[in-house]
Every structure is written in structure tokens, then in C-alpha cells.
Structure 1
């Protein structure tokens, strides 16, 4: 069986960015239900740091990375939605491994990339864009969301946040965002946030109550975790929904369900992309909606940092230090 040389960023034990090593690997032919893709760009996401650090324990050795875009070089038996030469992008395969030049992977999560969308944009937007899609369109409060409704989005100047600011505006929602600097607040406002709160200088609970006339919001979308959890519950209306979809400040501590009753019969969910994109058809439908809103210009993907593949460890340091805005990509 033919093999092909590839570089990959791999770890052999959990830890800091210093564990990340660039190694040479060999990649073979795809098996049934698989494709071989040559990356033109690779997405960088906060979940990659969780898998590297051990917050999300993974089997070793591990090639990091959850999304990428490139060209299909080979197609395994039974794969009918992709052909050799297709432009493609993916996220949420359930199998990390995108920090490389070339990989074999399950075809289920790989989607054809429209010609109107560049490889860099495709790599930067798949995980973040599909996340924004399942949050705004599928993870909704019990009383629904209507145009004019307020919602709270933490880390609104991040990769998912900037997509959400634009998409929420296109849907008619009034997004109240939080960020850690005036510059980041200005960036989110420029991308469609209705209001921004600098959580380092303002009490975001008090500001949310002020903005909403004391009513609170129907839903909070929170990727920060430990640092924002308790206060976020205080921002919700009765029957409101707390959506915890990340842990950038650390994992949410255990809490008594009775707290939800005290604060207004609140709902809590911890969704993942893997649960929402669990079939090829569902993944494609979600991706088609994302491609359409990006191609229409209603949502623009901001790639604010680009790193060569060999500088992936520095990219992780910058991400964890919250020095990045928008999306970041690695270039093979």
C-alpha cells in the first residue's frame, strides 16, 4: 500500500504547549468510509488546548486539531458525496488530527466547500460556525426566541462570538456581549452586537438588568465556564436557558439543582457539536446553512492570526493568554 509523507503536531503526554512536537509521519490510503485530505489551512480552537492539557483526556500519542480545509486526494469504498479533487472542509469528526499536512479521516463530517469560500475561511469557520449554528438555531429557550429578544453572549469578540454577533443580528436578536477589553468590545459592536460590557471594569449582571429594563435575558451562551457561571444565572428571566458550551476559565463547579428553582425554574444544557452533527445528512444541512449565511455576506469570518504549522505551540500560548481576536489558523 502506498504511503505519503506528512508533518504533524503531536503530543505524547498531556501538559503545556511545550509538549507539542512537529514530527514526520506516513499516511496511507483511506479505508471504507474514509477520505485522504491534503490541508491548505487548519483551524485553531480553544478545545484543542483542553485536549492538549488533559482537561479533556485523550489517548496518546495524539495529533491535535479538530478542523481543516483542503483538497480530497483519495476516497475510500462507500464514500459517494466526495470525489478526488473536491475542495472540502470539516469539523466535529470526533477524531482530532488536523494539525498536519495530510490525513486520512472519516468522510462523514467532511463537506464539499463552495468555490465562493476560500480554504482559509473554510478552515477558520467550520467548528466555530457550526457551533454558532447549533447554538442560535437549535439550542433555544423553552419560550423560544423572537426578533427583538435579548440574549447574553460571553467572549463575544472570540471566533465563535464574532460569528454569533453577526448571525444574531441577521436573525433580529439583540445580542448583549461581554469581553475583557474596550478594544474587544468595540470589535464585537462593529460586528453586530447590540450592547457590549467590559467585564473587567463593569458588573455585567447589573448592566444586563439595566439594558433589559430589569427583565433579564431569555438565554445565556457561555464558553467561559467557572468565572461567569454563577453571575450568568442571575442574568436570566424565569424559565431562561443557561447554555454552557466551553470552559476557557476552567470547568464549571458542581452545583445544587435547587439553585435553578430559586432563580426562576431555569434550564441548563451542555451541548456539543458531535451530538448535533451525528449523521452526514445533518452535518451537511448545518454546513449548508453556514455556507449560505457566509456567502450572502451577512456573516464575515475574521481571520486575525495566521501561524505556520511549526509555530502551533505559540498559537496555543496566545490563545490561552487571550491575546487573540476572531479566528486563528495554522498554515501547512
Structure 2
């Protein structure tokens, strides 16, 4: 399918492509869209009709049955959106992160953005990752800089706007905070147990106050972006090879599954991907499928 995206932000290598893919729990795959541009981070709409992704600083949607190509969602003046975005449980709103460091609410049908996040007296950059089951609270990581110190911790904020609530108080980086379907837990990746900087594992904690911290993965892989299925039965996460630093693009990666308490871990699929593949929750409402983006190179 030929489609022209804005030439902003991430670019692919010569001959590289983006493959928007749907996979079921048995590993059966279907590529819905192939383009020679960087598309990232699919969300599945709550009604099951749309996949939403970002490309070129803008946000797009396309039917999950691939009956039509991507269409841009009007986000007003926002043209520097990144791969951190979520859809409200009622499907009416997309919450997006912008490269200006703020979170905005945009109507799913398109329209003027409303800023959700706050101004801070010191550098404070919001990266959105989750929304509570009732739609009232957003979970995000903040990159803060106070003098020479840089901290990356988990926070929440009301989706209508309001005070920031800090849930982790760590000197090591954290990322990808996302609510469980019952609202009790926030799942996230952290370097809390890392033997060297850049090696993350999967954790969860109580969503209200950050208590009850539990580590769920303990292997040599570098594990990122846990996403809980809508029925609460599965967690998918992105695994990089041992020795990877952070969550870069263009690596041989795996999507792995486990139960919500970390048991029964297994590989679902392996491919060339990484940054942009599954930064946000992309489970289908039926919990039987999920979407991701692979970035194969020409052979």
C-alpha cells in the first residue's frame, strides 16, 4: 500500500520498511500494512474497529480489517507527537505525548487538543503510557532534571488535569507504566535490579501509592513495556538480547507472554524491531490478538 507520511522525526534505513502486524496467541500473523516510512506504537480501539499509530509527528488510524488505508486524525497544532499515546476506555479521546514535553487530549474524531499536564519550575518531560480502567487517571514517566541529577520515575495525573502524583522515588530509570484491567496494579519496566545501567526487568506495584513492589522477570534479557490483556489473563512484553542498553531501534527482539504474576513465560514471536514496536498497549478487546510493528531490512 502506498501512503505518504510527513517527513519528520524517525527515518528508516535504505530498503527498510514498517510492517503493521496482528498476531494471535498461537503465533499466527497477518501483516495489515507495509510502508517505507517509520510507523510506531499501535493502539487497538476499545470497539475493535481501529488501529491507531503515530508517524511523522502525527497520529493516524486505520480499520483493523485493513479495508482502507491510514487516515490522519486532526490534532490541531500538534505536529510533533511521539510514540506514547493511549485511547480512553470509552473510545472518545486519544491522549498523546508531544515532543514539547506535555500530554494532550485529542478527540478520537479529531479536533483541538487540550493540555492535561502541568508546567514545572525545573525541566520535567512527560511520557504517557497508561490510562486507568475508569478513564480518570493517566500513568506516565517523567524525566526530571534538577541541577546535574536526572531522574526517570513513574507518576500519575488526572485525565481531566490536576496534580501530579509520584509513585516511584528511584535513582534508576523506569518506563512504560500501565494499569491492569482491574485498576489494582501498575506494570512497568525498571533498572532497579540491573547489574549494569540500561538493563531493565518487569515489575508491578499497587496503583494507588506505589507500594507492594514485585519483580516479575529475572532473566538475562533486557525486558520492556509490559502490556496486560483486557481480560487480565496475559502480559506481553518486549525482550531485547542480553547486553542491550535501553530500548533502541533495529534489534533482533522477541515478544514474550507471561501470566500477570510472572509465571508461564514463553516466546510468542521474534523479528527485527525494537523502539516503536510495542511501546503502548496494543491488545485487541477480545484479548485473543495484539498488534505490533516490525522493521525488516531488505535482504
Whichever of the two has the greater Rg, that structure is: 1
Higher helix share: 1
Question: Normalized against structure 1, the TM-score is what?
Answer: 0.27
Which structure is higher in strand share? 2
